[in-house]
């Protein structure tokens, strides 16, 4: 969310968070945009939103780590469903390929690989190094990620 967007509406919805190792995010992101700012990657904003929601929610909002989801999709989806009070369905583990109206205008730029999938793909670690020019950004994102990671469902 942009800083000027009022966050009070977050109290009216069920919030959950998806996090991903910033080393993997940066490796992917710089293929589309060579020199991102820390704000572009969303980690700082995600912590701010988590803190906002956490102070007003009756319970801790669930956090899923992308690696955990890919390593065990059914288990993680069951944990998420339980945390938010939704009945789990096997249909949550697969979907038809292609883009959806709800993907937004950015889908064709960012979600090309996702549009080809029909289920969760197995996790394959990335071994990309973060370029030196982005090391400070990586460290800031990593701090945010680690803060949320400690609260993740597992």
pLDDT digits (tens, 9 = 90+) for 109-118: 888 889 999 9
Name the pLDDT band for 96 (thresholds 50, 70, 90). Answer: very high
Residue 8 φ/ψ, nearest 5 degrees:
-60, -30
Greater pLDDT, 101 or 139: 139
pLDDT digits (tens, 9 = 90+) for 25-84: 999 999 999 999 999 999 999 999 999 999 987 889 999 999 999 999 999 999 999 999
pLDDT digits (tens, 9 = 90+) for 77-92: 999 999 999 999 999 9
Predicted structure pTM score: 0.92
Contacts of 149 (CB under 8 A, 6+ apart): 19, 63, 65
Q: Which of 11, 82, 6, 2 is nearest to 53 (CA)?
A: 11
How close are the terminal C-alpha atoms of the chain, in Å?
27
List the alpha helices (DSSP H) in the chain: 22-29, 38-41, 43-56, 66-71, 73-84, 107-110, 112-115, 135-149
């Amino acid at each position: 969310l942009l800083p000027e967007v009022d966050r009070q509406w977050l109290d009216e919805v069920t919030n959950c968070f998806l996090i991903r190792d910033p080393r993997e995010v940066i490796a992917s992101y710089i293929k589309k945009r060579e020199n991102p700012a820390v704000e572009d990657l969303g980690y700082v904003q995600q912590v701010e939103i988590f803190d906002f929601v956490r102070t007003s929610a009756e319970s801790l909002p669930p956090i899923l780590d992308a690696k955990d989801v890919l390593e065990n999709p059914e288990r993680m989806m069951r944990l998420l469903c339980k945390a938010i009070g939704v009945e789990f369905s096997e249909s949550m583990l697969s979907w038809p390929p292609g883009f959806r109206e709800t993907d937004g205008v950015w889908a064709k730029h960012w979600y090309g690989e996702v549009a080809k999938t029909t289920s969760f793909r197995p996790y394959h670690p990335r071994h990309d190094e973060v370029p030196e020019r982005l090391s400070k950004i990586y460290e800031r994102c990593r701090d945010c990620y680690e803060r949320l990671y400690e609260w993740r469902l597992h």
